[in-house]
């Protein structure tokens, strides 16, 4: 099988490089390019569903108690929290400052947010300098995240507005495309003018699939891809982000978030409860009010903490247990061709196809599973055009974590849109590719000079994931 694959790759290379070819080459890709079991993105735990609910199923293999806990955690993930005091004491405590009323507001059907207010886009804020644990330094007036909503009697921090500058481009073969650059402004600021040195970073809520499997990866397997000084001279310099873990109170390898700025799902979930919903936990006990936000500080809370450890644990289990849907059309000739081109372009150097999880997850079903996330979970310089110019622990303003590609082709089905990248600027997979710069620029340039049929094959492959 391996020999057949190499032979096909050689034929493709020779045909593509032929200078006097008058017609598009006919490339035959047979079943020999298909890798046995590659449709199972989460190995034996893969969810066999391709519907609008494909991101919302629990993975197989959970024990009886975990299956029950999954549904309770799901209720806390999807519920709308209410202001305190309320007769629903287990579900009150929203705010005083918040971005959304539920986790599902930003992750509808456990999927991806949109670049609009109350649809999953938020702004991280910081000023030059670092905090006590190496984290970004929060702004004194507006904190570490802009809250565009608030409860009654408390003024929200402000609102954001988006304007897009669109520019048209053309591939060498004549196909047109366009890219839009977002321009953000902030209005209705209720706590003074923003510091002139403030840095902001737009962040879209990502799809929730396979998070427990990512958490279960051995750090050593992720770190094996690190090549910060580009010792192998391939132009790719994978970099690890070490971040403060509030549970162990130590620096750990970051795996989650757009900048790999969170180490584990417990911290991620508790942090989202506080930052996005204004719900306190035993881990993050203080409301997200700054020192000048007096009404926020004196507002009635929903208890201390506002979600107890039992229900927080159930929500974390839910996040850990969401499955990954099976691939589609994985044996189609164009998909197999696209996979081969994807690898030849060097895309797989960052979007690492395959790993095996470790053996230390509290959920036994997540242990020792072969997965295909298509990410190395490391930081890479993506160029000035995608830069947010805001450091986050060891990540600089140009660096982003490689986004896992599993589930990419189902975002449209689940969420009804295809807004991609960290801020949703890309409207299609093709646009997302053409935004790549920095370490990915060489691969992007190679992609741009492909024939349209070959570019379409790459897109078909990515849609199959």
Residue 23 counted as domain residue: no
Residue 67 counted as domain residue: yes
Contact 89, 302 (CB under 8 A): yes
State percent of the chain over pLDDT 90: 91
Q: Does residue 149 surpass a pLDDT of 80?
A: yes
The pLDDT, as a whole number, for residue 251 is 98
Q: Does residue 12 surpass a pLDDT of 50?
A: no
Residue 135 counted as domain residue: yes
pLDDT digits (tens, 9 = 90+) for 74-111: 999 999 999 999 988 889 999 999 999 999 999 999 99
Its domain, for residue 236, covers 34-464
Torsion of Cα atoms, 216 then 217 then 218 then 220, to 10°: -160
Mean pLDDT over all residues of the chain? Answer: 93
In three-state form (DSSP H/G/I as H, E/B as E, the rest C), the secondary structure along the chain is CHHHHHHHHHHHHHHHHCCCCCCCCCCCCCHHHCCCCCCCCCHHHCECCCCCCCCCCECCCCCHHHHHHHHHHHHHHHCCCECCCCCCHHHECCCCEECCCCHHHHCHHHCCCCCCCCCCEEEEEEEEEECCCCCEECECCCECECCCEECCCCCCCCEEEEEEEEEEEECCCCCEEEEEEEEEEEECCCCCCCCCCCEEEEEECCCCCCHHHHHCCCHHHHHCCCCCCCCCCCCCCCECCEEEECCCCEEEECCECCCCCECCHHHHHHHHHHHHHCCCCCCCCCCCCCCCCHHHHHCCCCCCCCCCHHHHHHHHHHHHHECCECCCCCCCHHHHHHHHHHHHCCHHHCCCCCEECCCCCCCHHHCCCEECCCCCCCEEECCHHHCCCCCECCECCCEEECCCCCCHHHHHHHHCCCCECCCCCECCHHHHHHHCCHHHHHHHHHHHCCCHHHHHHHHHHHHHC
Cα(445)–Cα(440) distance, integer angstroms: 9
The pLDDT, as a whole number, for residue 8 is 35
pTM for this structure? Answer: 0.92
Confidence of residue 411 (pLDDT cuts 50, 70, 90): very high
pLDDT digits (tens, 9 = 90+) for 223-256: 999 999 999 999 999 999 999 999 999 999 999 9
Listed in sequence order, the residues at least 6 apart from 367 whose beta carbon sits closer than 8 Å to its beta carbon are 216, 357, 358, 359, 360, 361
Strand pairing of 97-98 and 149-150? antiparallel
The pLDDT, as a whole number, for residue 440 is 98
The pLDDT, as a whole number, for residue 119 is 87
Residue 38 counted as domain residue: yes
- The b/e string for 344-372 (b: 16+ C-beta within 10 A; e otherwise) is ebbbbbbbbbebebbeebebebbbebbbb
CA-based nearest residue to 205, from 117, 125, 136: 117
Query: What is the number of domains present in the chain?
Result: 1
Residue 264 counted as domain residue: yes
pLDDT digits (tens, 9 = 90+) for 346-376: 999 999 999 999 999 999 999 999 999 999 9
Q: What is the mean pLDDT of residues 176-191?
A: 98
The pLDDT, as a whole number, for residue 256 is 98
Contact 81, 386 (CB under 8 A): no
Q: What is the mean pLDDT of residues 161-173?
A: 97
Residue 5 counted as domain residue: no
Q: Residue 295, class by beta-carbon neighbours within 10 Å (0-12 exposed, 13-18 middle, 19+ buried)?
A: middle
Residue 320 counted as domain residue: yes
The pLDDT, as a whole number, for residue 89 is 82
Confidence of residue 333 (pLDDT cuts 50, 70, 90): very high
The pLDDT, as a whole number, for residue 7 is 35
Listed in sequence order, the residues at least 6 apart from 387 whose beta carbon sits closer than 8 Å to its beta carbon are 397, 398
Angle in degrees, CA 61, 50, 412, rounded to 5: 125
Cα(411)–Cα(403) distance, integer angstroms: 14
Listed in sequence order, the residues at least 6 apart from 36 whose beta carbon sits closer than 8 Å to its beta carbon are none
Tokens, residue 320: 């850990």
Residue 16 counted as domain residue: no
């Amino acid at each position: 099988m391996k020999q057949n694959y190499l032979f096909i790759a050689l034929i493709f290379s020779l045909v593509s490089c032929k200078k006097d070819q008058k017609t598009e080459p006919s490339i035959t890709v047979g079943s020999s390019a298909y890798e046995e079991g590659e449709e199972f993105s989460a190995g034996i735990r893969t969810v066999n569903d391709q519907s609008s609910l494909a991101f919302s199923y629990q993975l197989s293999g959970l024990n009886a108690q975990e299956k029950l806990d999954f549904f309770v955690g799901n209720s806390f993930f999807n519920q709308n929290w209410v202001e305190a005091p309320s007769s629903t004491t287990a579900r009150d405590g929203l705010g005083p400052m918040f971005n959304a009323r539920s986790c599902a507001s930003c992750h509808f059907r456990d999927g991806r947010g949109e670049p609009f207010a109350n649809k999953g886009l938020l702004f991280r804020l910081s000023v030059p300098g670092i905090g006590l644990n190496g984290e970004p330094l929060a702004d004194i007036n507006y904190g570490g995240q802009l809250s565009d909503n608030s409860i009654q009697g408390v003024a929200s921090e402000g609102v954001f507005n988006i304007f897009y500058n669109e520019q048209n481009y053309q591939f060498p073969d004549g196909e047109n495309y366009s890219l839009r650059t977002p321009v953000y402004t902030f209005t209705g600021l209720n706590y003074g003018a923003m510091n002139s040195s403030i840095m902001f970073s737009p962040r879209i809520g990502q799809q929730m699939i396979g998070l427990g499997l990512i958490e279960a990866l051995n750090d050593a397997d992720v770190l094996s891809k690190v090549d910060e000084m580009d010792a192998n001279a391939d132009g790719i310099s994978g970099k690890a982000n070490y971040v403060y873990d509030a549970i162990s109170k130590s620096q750990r390898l970051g795996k989650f978030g757009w900048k790999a700025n969170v180490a584990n799902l417990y911290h991620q979930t508790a942090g989202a409860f506080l930052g996005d919903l204004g719900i306190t936990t035993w881990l993050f006990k203080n409301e997200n009010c700054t020192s000048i936000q007096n009404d926020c500080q004196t507002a009635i809370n929903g208890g201390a903490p506002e979600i107890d450890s039992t229900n927080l644990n159930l929500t974390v289990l839910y996040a850990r247990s969401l499955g990954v849907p099976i691939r589609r059309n994985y044996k189609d000739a164009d998909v197999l061709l696209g996979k081969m081109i994807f690898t030849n372009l060097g895309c797989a150097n960052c979007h690492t196809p395959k790993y095996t999880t470790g053996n230390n997850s509290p959920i036994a079903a997540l242990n020792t599973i072969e997965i295909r996330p298509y990410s190395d979970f490391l930081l890479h310089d993506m160029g000035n055009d995608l830069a947010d110019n805001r450091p986050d622990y060891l990540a600089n303003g140009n660096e982003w974590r490689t986004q896992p590609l599993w589930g990419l082709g189902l975002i449209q089905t689940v969420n009804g849109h295809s807004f991609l990248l960290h801020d949703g600027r890309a409207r299609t997979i093709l646009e997302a590719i053409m935004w790549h710069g920095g370490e990915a620029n060489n691969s992007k340039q190679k992609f741009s000079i492909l024939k349209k049929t070959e570019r379409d094959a790459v897109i078909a492959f990515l849609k199959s994931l």
